[in-house]
A and B are shown apart, each in its own frame.
Chain A
Amino acid sequence: MKELLELYFSFFRIGLFTFGGGMAMLPMLTKEIVEDKKWATNEEILNYFAIGQCTPGIIAINTATFIGTKRRGAVGGFVATLGMITPSLIVILVIASVLSKIMHYEIVGHIFVGIRVAVAALVTESLIGILKSGIKDIFGIVFYIVTLTLCLCFDLSPICVVVLGVVVGVTRIKLINKEKRK
């Protein structure tokens, strides 16, 4: 019970301080889940993101369900996800009606611009951490640059990227096996 509550409130905090799309949750996720609670490693989070890219649903929800399920089974998955969506429910239901009115004040606009700049700095820091733990050798560096270039030049969709990763991963293992047999 105690751990379920912990799961709920950890993801409540993450939901409350995610401003923007799914990846904006990364700084809070690494702080709460990887550094403080040690419920998952950076590598596991990368795994969850990879699966989340090609399964139905929002990445933030998928990631919360994964970590919750890892800690406390299916119930944990539900509880963590509920924690993640509660702040949205409260904020949107209570504040959104007010917010749409106060959005017209200039200072509110400036505050949100400031928050976005801060989020940019946080996401950059998380990105560096994630790349450090996800890219371990020359294969990783090359494949990272290749995928990034493909995405930037040809607008490759996330699902295509994941499929490419699966194909390359399987091929790599097959090649390694062949080497060994020789």
Chain B
Amino acid sequence: MMTYIYLIIEFFKIGLFSVGGGLATLPWLFDLAEKDYGWFTSSQLADMIAISESTPGPMGVNMATYAGYNAGGIFGGIISTLSLALPGIVIIIIIYGFLEKFSDNKYVKGVFYALHPAVGALITLACIQVYKSSFLASEGFGIKPLHFAVFAVIFAVKLIFGKKIHPIAVIAAGAVIGAVISL
């Protein structure tokens, strides 16, 4: 029982204090591994990261479920994830109210006008990170030729057919190609 209460408190804290995306939860999780709860070790956490990256679902949510499961079984996984999500949900609902009220304010409009290119830059960086885990060499500036070729073909096909191909179909195709040509 106490484990569950600690899980709720710890993951609520992580949800409240990790600002900016799933990777921001990592330092907190490593912190948890150091504490004497005995829920998981730092090396188990490294395995969790690898699994969270390749399973469906946003990485931060996967990490919470996995860590909670390790600590307190299925119920532990569920309450950890809910506790992680709760602060964000409440804060965004409040912010949305303000956003609605002031959306016509010219300063608010002006701020978002400047934020669009800035966030565009952040998404570009995230895109480069995705390249690093798919076709860029892990060290230096090289590319893996075969991986890049597959990327180029998929991208070209998607550009030509555009909205007619669902993202799910593209992901499935990637899985099949990966298995067939042993990427």
Contacts and interface: CB of A to CB of B under 8 A. Distances in A.
Interface of A: 13, 15-28, 31, 35, 43, 46-47, 49-62, 65-66, 69-70, 74, 77-78, 81, 84-85, 87-89, 91-93, 95-96, 99-100, 103, 106-107, 110-125, 127, 130-131, 134-135, 139-141, 143-144, 147-148, 151-152, 157-159, 161-162, 164-166, 168-170, 172-173, 176
A165 B110 CA distance: 10
Interface string B140-176: 0000000100110011001100010011101101111
Contact of A78 (B89, B119, B134): B89
Of A23, A121, A151, A162, which is in contact with the most chain B CB atoms at under 10 Å from its CB? A121
A112 B178 CA distance: 7
A22 B19 CA distance: 13
A84 B118 contact: no
- Chain B, interface SS category: helix
B56 A17 contact: yes
Contacts of A15: 56-58, 61
Of B17, B57, B106, which is in contact with the most chain A CB atoms at under 10 Å from its CB? B57
B104 to A, nearest CB: 14
B81 A50 contact: no
B123 A88 contact: no
B115 interface: yes
Contact of B19 (A31, A43, A127, A159): A159
A14 B50 CA distance: 21
A111 B154 CA distance: 15
A134 B65 contact: no
Nearest to A132: B120
B116 A134 contact: yes
A117 B178 contact: yes
B117 A88 contact: no
Contacts of A54: 19-20
A55 B20 CA distance: 7
Contacts of B21: 21-22, 52-53, 58-59, 158
B123 to A, nearest CB: 6
Given A92-B77, A100-B51, A144-B120, A110 B183 contact: yes
A92 B127 CA distance: 25
A96 B167 contact: no
